[in-house]
Amino acid sequence: MSGLVVVGLNHRTAPVEARERLAVPPDGLEDAVRAVLALGGVREAVVVATCNRVELYALGDEPDALAGALRQHLLSRGGAGVSLYEHRGEDAVRHAFRVCASLDSLVVGEPQILGQVKEAVAASRAAGGLRGGLGRVMARAFQAAKRVRTETGIAEGQVSVASVAVDLARGIFGDLVGRKVLVVGAGKMALGAARTLARAGASLLIANRSFERAEALAREYGATAHPLSDLGMLLQHVDVAVCSTGASGYLLTRHDVALAMKARRGRGLFLIDIAVPRNVEPAAGDLDSVFLYNVDDLERAVAEGGHGRAAATTDAERVVAEELSSYRAEELAQRGAGPTIVALRRRFQEAAAAEMERSLGGRLRHLGEGDRAAIEAMLDALTNKLLHAPTVALKEAATGADDDGVLRAARTLFALDAEAGGGRPELTAVRAPGGVAAKAKAGTGR
Amino acid sequence: MLGGLLAAAALLYLLASVLMLTHLVGATSSPPARRAATLALGGAVASHVAHDLLRWGAAGRGPFAGIHEGLSTLALVVAAVALGLRLRGGRLETLGVFVAPLSLLMLLASQGAGARPTTPLSGALLGVHVGSTILGTAAFTVAFALAAAYLVQEREVRQKRLRGMFQRLPPLEVLDVASYRSIALGLPALTLGIVTGLLAGVQEAVGRGLPLVEWRHYLALGVWGVFASVLVLRLVAGWRGHRAAIGTIVGYASAVMVLFGYFVRGSGR
């Protein structure tokens, strides 16, 4: 995968102030992919945008030019002055595997990232950004992530952002029974934190731009629903507010919070802002009795609580290395055994097409279109079945020590080299509605 | 014997302070260290009580004769409160880390160079004066410790350090409310102490032909005023948390200055 390049920034290279400038809302992913595809020289693209990272994966023929274009693209979109990282070829594949396996996350082992990359891949597919190569990389990355979660203890005993939020709320208020928690927006992480706080005895209030959505969530979570326009009033009465809307500007300024604090007569307020871009003006956290935590603060706290997972992380890195090696072997196999497999399929399809044409032109000429299609599909299925085992054997042989012997044997047994010399009729693969059949095109000897 | 008990109490206050501080700032909580700190504090309180009882028996009067003995008794009362909280468990048990060093300092100060024999107390008015003043000041000492703990815990929360001290110190609101209650308890006691002290002073001044009001009376009223302001501002202007903690610490610092004044200028009464 030498043409694969990834350029991006994450929680390690850029603070939330920088990441929020490049944030892509979930419904903007497809447009973001189209914008990358429009850069020129980009065959395939995936845009991964979470609250912790913005990464552009692109496949093209000129990695240097591609990397430059991706960098320029990010810089022009608000990334000026931000340190961007870049991975190419196998390093880029490894990076994708590690990201999906949550090994590159601030909270190693956190489960959200896999779902977020899957959403990014779905958006890319919808925008026409996947044609095979990059899709294969991502599929293998998902497979690696699944193995990491099931075969290592990386997710065990994981301290989640929600539980840190509860610890913090307890550190500020003590008992949470009867406390009021306001959820602003409908982000999964915010609702998760709110649910954990509710389990600790707090009552929930949900405010959303769409009141219908707030009502639906309120029913689901046993909360009360409020329109977003009530935010200022609600802030006067709640103890904790978790903000996670997709608003591009501050939903709560320092002034708004100061006004609420005046009405609260100094009662403590815990603001959790897990939105990127941020919903709460950072200066609000300087107010007396206001404790403001953003996504970086919470995740850093979670990461600090992640002691004892070193062994699981080592195991996870080993799984990723195995998956990478397996992917590499598959790619090599496809490259090494590829021409032989293609020639072999062509030989079988050619034979099937020739026989079919002969029969349909002779004894079976009375058959209608439907019957002809059925026979074509049957021949197709037969070809695939017969070729499955040899294809797998050729791929495996190509990665083993004795690849040359098996490949040579296959080429000799089926006279594939003769075809390469041009002594065979020219065939064109025609995709039939039910599958692939080969039809002989008029050529020498026909 | 008496000196030995007091020295043992001082050493144990010191040991308890060190152990509690080590436990508070340590990376991980150590149950043996915690138990050792409680034992040291318990030993200090026991030695201190034994000393006061023996002296009481020997002198035939309570340990309240003058500011120096009063200070030693104050040290004992706040240490006993901290020990009680520790034995009861819960998150306020860590308060001892702020109280034990204060008890040590007060005990040392009571035996310091400025200490000298004072006139034994006589009369019910003076008894009420000393008792309520010690109770009020003990409440303010506890409020000060709570306010100090609040500022430390607030710093941990603001600096996003959620391990170690954050986990061992009480929740901010618990500290804030407990500090408020301590002041609310201490202020009436101190008010009574000041009023009875003034009355006793007037009686004595008239009898001996001394001035009715002295500089230290103004200082005592100043301390009262600071704590009363913290309470009033909390109730009227919503002063809580950080501001209330600073107010409490300022009030306590002014009380310490008054005590210092007593030491420097002396008080025969």
- How large a percentage of chain B has pLDDT more than 90? 36
Do B105 and B157 sit in the same domain of this protein? no
Average pLDDT over residues A138-146: 93
- Flag whether the ipTM exceeds 0.95: no
**What's the pLDDT at A404?**
65
Do B86 and B193 sit in the same domain of this protein? no
The domain boundary residue, chosen from B64, B96, B113: B113
Q: Give pLDDT tens digits for B56-86.
A: 777 766 666 667 777 888 899 999 999 999 8
Q: What is the mean pLDDT of chain B?
A: 83
Q: Give pLDDT tens digits for A235-290.
A: 999 999 999 888 888 999 999 999 999 888 888 999 999 888 899 999 999 999 99
Mutation choice for A interface testing from B94, B156, B162, B165 by most A CBs within 10 A? B162
Do B125 and B233 sit in the same domain of this protein? yes
Do B127 and B250 sit in the same domain of this protein? yes
| B162: closest chain A residue by CA | A301
- List CB contacts of A414: < 8 A, sequence separation 6 or more: A343, A344, A347
Give dist(CA A353, CA A343) in Å, integer.
15
Do B142 and B239 sit in the same domain of this protein? yes
B84 token code pair: 């009680």
Give dist(CA A5, CA A73) in Å, integer.
14
Whether B13 contacts B104, CB under 8 Å: yes
Q: How deeply is A38 buried, as exposed, middle or buried, from its count of CB atoms within 10 A (0-12, 13-18, 19+)?
A: exposed
DSSP character string of A394-415 = HHHHHHSTTHHHHHHHHHHHTT
Judge: A291–B158 Cβ closer than 8 Å, yes or no.
Answer: yes
Q: What is the mean pLDDT of chain A?
A: 83
Question: Residue A421 pLDDT > 50, yes or no?
Answer: no
- Domain count for chain B, please give it: 2
List C-alpha distances in Å: B79 to B28, B85, B95, B124, B244: 25, 10, 10, 27, 23
Do B104 and B129 sit in the same domain of this protein? no
Do B29 and B72 sit in the same domain of this protein? yes
Average pLDDT over residues A293-311: 73
Judge: B91–A304 Cβ closer than 8 Å, yes or no.
Answer: no
Which of A243-252, A377-386, B28-37, B152-161 has the lowest average pLDDT? Answer: B28-37
CA distance B233 to chain A (A): 11
**What's the pLDDT at A400?**
59
CA distance B169 to chain A (A): 8
Q: Give pLDDT tens digits for B209-221.
A: 766 666 667 777 8
Pair type for strands A269-273 and A240-243: parallel
Q: Give pLDDT tens digits for B20-56.
A: 998 888 766 677 888 899 999 999 999 999 988 888 7
Most confident region among A95-99, A417-421, B114-118, B229-233 by mean pLDDT:
A95-99
Cα A17 to the center of its chain, rounded Å: 23
Interface membership of A291 toward B (CB under 8 Å): yes
**What's the pLDDT at B62?**
65
The domain boundary residue, chosen from B53, B84, B113: B113
Do B105 and B134 sit in the same domain of this protein? no
Judge: B157–A168 Cβ closer than 8 Å, yes or no.
Answer: yes
**What's the pLDDT at B57?**
79
Do B246 and B134 sit in the same domain of this protein? yes
- Which among B157, B160, B244 has the least Cβ separation from residue A172? B157
List C-alpha distances in Å: B141 to A140, A219, A269, B83, B168: 65, 50, 28, 14, 21
Residue-range domains of chain A with CATH: 4-156 (3.30.460.30), 161-303 (3.40.50.720), 337-440 (no CATH)
**What's the pLDDT at A1?**
65
The amino acid at A12: R
Q: Pick the residue with more confidence: A22 or A132?
A: A22
The domain boundary residue, chosen from B48, B82, B113: B113
The domain of B79 spans: 1-113
Do B151 and B75 sit in the same domain of this protein? no
DSSP structural state of residue A282: G
Do B107 and B130 sit in the same domain of this protein? no
Interface membership of A172 toward B (CB under 8 Å): yes
Give the max Cα distance, chain A: 97
Give dist(CA A283, CA A257) in Å, integer.
10
Residues of A serving a catalytic function are 51
In a 3-state reduction of DSSP, which class is residue B223?
helix
- Which among B162, B171, B242 has the least Cβ separation from residue A301? B162
Cα torsion through B118, B120, B122, B127, rounded to 10: 80
Give dist(CA A419, CA B72) in Å, integer.
107
Within 8 A of A265 by CB-CB distance, chain B residues are 237-238, 240
Q: Residue A272 pairs with which residues in a beta bridge?
A: A242, A293
Q: Give pLDDT tens digits for A195-221.
A: 888 888 899 999 998 899 999 989 988
Q: Identify the band that residue A401 occupies on the pLDDT scale cut at 50, 70 and 90.
A: low
A431 token code pair: 């995709």
Give dist(CA B199, CA B62) in Å, integer.
21
**What's the pLDDT at A205?**
94
Do B236 and B139 sit in the same domain of this protein? yes
**What's the pLDDT at A362?**
84
